[in-house]
Amino acid sequence: MQTLLKLLSDGRFHSGEELGALLGVSRSAVWKRLEGVEHDYGVVVQRVRGRGYRLEEPLSIIAPRPDTGLWPLDVLFSIDSTNAEVLRRLSAGATAPFAILGERQTAGRGRRGRQWESPFGANLYYTLGISVRGGAQELEGMSLVVGLAVAKAIQALGVKDVGLKWPNDVLVGGKKIAGILLELTGDPADICSVAIGIGINVNMRKADAIDQPWTSVREALSRLVDRNELLQALESQLAHALSRHRERGFAASREEWESLHLWQGRQVTLSTVANNIVGRALGIDERGALRLLVDGKEQSYSGGELSLRLSDDS
């Protein structure tokens, strides 16, 4: 069925006879496989008498990439969660760094237990597994560094008005376009492994389960986007950002991160498990903690289940 999907990915009509010849099966077998494609991958196949079959939306299928010298990349047609798969492989003794990319996630997840919308072939669902040997110091600000790399990769495709929302979101025009989820295994104070999960809305046109304003690279550029081009830009930016972070810490990225900080100087509300804190966003410190002016005094916040939003009067 994967071969059939690739044949249909151009969004054009293909006759049953043509598909059968390419697959080496009968036309009736093609029909059954098309039903399987719809069931297994959640895509919609249009059937028009006299013209054949095509996908409702063309797909940009991820091609096997050449050895870039960065890290191995395994592209899976369907997976529960790229983060979960990386953590499983790390627990089984896989050597980091390595990356997993899913064409679809059946149980994709974001921060605070939220579902991550993951239709087949529409977006990037990518997780990089790395080893961290510098203890807590190397982990400081890592999610912000990754967010900066994602923002720059999106900018590299020509998207304007890209900004960052502390701690893990990338926005375009005030709407969410990407998110980051870091998960750790091992001892954070010594040697541990990190699953760096990245989700980018690329060509997705609709998503009923998303409960906040969102956008996509396709919407920003008004064209179908080659996900291979975005993947190349993402991995290049990630390699540079993580290398700089490992060698020089988050302080080396602080100024650049703040230059894309959307809510700098704005009145915001920080929600914690216990309460809500209202203050003016001053930026971030050299560890990546959020700096707020609260009742005339500067306070810093990091870690835990924190959520930030603009205050009603901002």
152-159 mean pLDDT: 97
User: What are the residue ranges of CATH 3.30.930.10 in the chain?
Assistant: 73-259
Of 50-59, 149-158, 185-194, 248-257, the least confident = 185-194
Rounded Cα distance between 35 and 32, Å, is: 5
Which positions make up the binding site? 81-83, 105, 109-111, 176
pLDDT at residue 112 tops 60: no
182-207 mean pLDDT: 88
- Please identify, in words, the CATH class of the domain defined by 267-310: mainly beta
Of 84-93, 181-190, 238-247, 279-288, the least confident = 181-190
What sign results for the dihedral spanned by CA atoms 117, 120, 122, 127? positive
Could you say which of 176, 218, 227, 254 is catalytic? 176
Rounded Cα distance between 208 and 2, Å, is: 26
Range 2-55 classified under CATH 1.10.1060.10: no
Is-catalytic flag, 32?
A: no
User: What are the residue ranges of CATH 1.10.10.10 in the chain?
Assistant: 2-55
For residues 97 and 63, the model is more confident at 97
Of 56-70, 146-160, 176-190, the least confident = 56-70
Which positions make up the binding site for biotin? 81-83, 105, 109-111, 176
Is-catalytic flag, 309?
A: yes
Is-catalytic flag, 33?
A: no
User: What are the residue ranges of CATH 2.30.30.100 in the chain?
Assistant: 267-310
| pLDDT tens per residue across span 239-254 | 999 999 999 999 999 9
Rounded Cα distance between 145 and 1, Å, is: 38
pLDDT at residue 115 tops 90: no
Of 55-69, 165-179, 270-284, the least confident = 55-69
Place of tokens 């790399």: 149
Domain 73-259: which CATH number of 3.40.309.10, 3.90.1150.10, 3.40.50.970, 3.30.930.10: 3.30.930.10
Question: Would you place residue 314 in the very low, low, confident or very high pLDDT band (cuts 50, 70, 90)?
Answer: very low
Could you say which of 33, 54, 111, 218 is catalytic? 111
